[in-house]
């Protein structure tokens, strides 16, 4: 493959990732609301999934969305520190299938971490806009 084609492919990929990131962060901002959300208590149907999601709250973060399978947090820690913490948590849960994708463009960070074991799946998105101090963490757990 010629270097020119390779450069064009890389530029195209970066443009697509940047556009997806901008669309996603715009959607994430719409999800945030100033009104508090009360937690929903649900029965534990799989012996441990509730404890798993509560154990996946990043220690130095504030909860902004708390739903049955989805939570969102805000932290002011370094995105790489948060990413490393979630990687270790996913591994500690014994997830045998994992995907860790880290993207950093012009100071914007979008890291997606996924782990699964059987019917249980953990998805984490770590988002930081270079113009903001806060890091947004989206957490989905399906069991």
Distance, CA of 35 to CA of 5 (rounded, Å):
50
Q: Which pLDDT belongs to residue 4?
A: 75
- Per residue of the chain (143 residues), give pLDDT as tens: 777 777 777 877 777 776 666 666 555 554 444 444 434 333 333 334 444 566 899 999 999 988 877 899 999 999 999 999 999 999 998 998 889 999 999 999 999 999 999 889 999 999 999 999 999 999 999 87
Q: Which pLDDT belongs to residue 47?
A: 39
Residue ranges per structural domain of the chain: 3-142
Q: Which pLDDT belongs to residue 7?
A: 79
Q: What is the pTM of this model?
A: 0.63
Q: Which pLDDT belongs to residue 27?
A: 54
Q: Which pLDDT belongs to residue 54?
A: 66
Q: 3-state class of 130 per DSSP?
A: coil
């Amino acid at each position: 493959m010629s270097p020119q084609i390779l450069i064009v492919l890389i530029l195209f990929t970066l443009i697509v990732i940047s556009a997806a990131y901008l669309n996603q962060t715009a959607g994430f901002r719409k999800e945030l609301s100033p009104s508090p959300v009360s937690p929903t208590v649900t029965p534990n149907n799989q012996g441990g999934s509730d404890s798993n999601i509560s154990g996946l709250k990043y220690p130095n973060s504030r909860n902004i969305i708390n739903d049955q399978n989805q939570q969102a947090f805000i932290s002011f820690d370094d995105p790489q520190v948060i990413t490393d913490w979630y990687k270790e948590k996913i591994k500690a849960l014994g997830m045998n299938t994992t995907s860790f994708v880290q993207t950093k463009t012009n100071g914007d960070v979008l890291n997606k971490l996924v782990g699964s074991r059987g019917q249980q799946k953990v998805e984490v998105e770590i988002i930081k806009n270079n113009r903001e101090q806060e890091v947004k963490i989206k957490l989905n757990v399906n069991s």
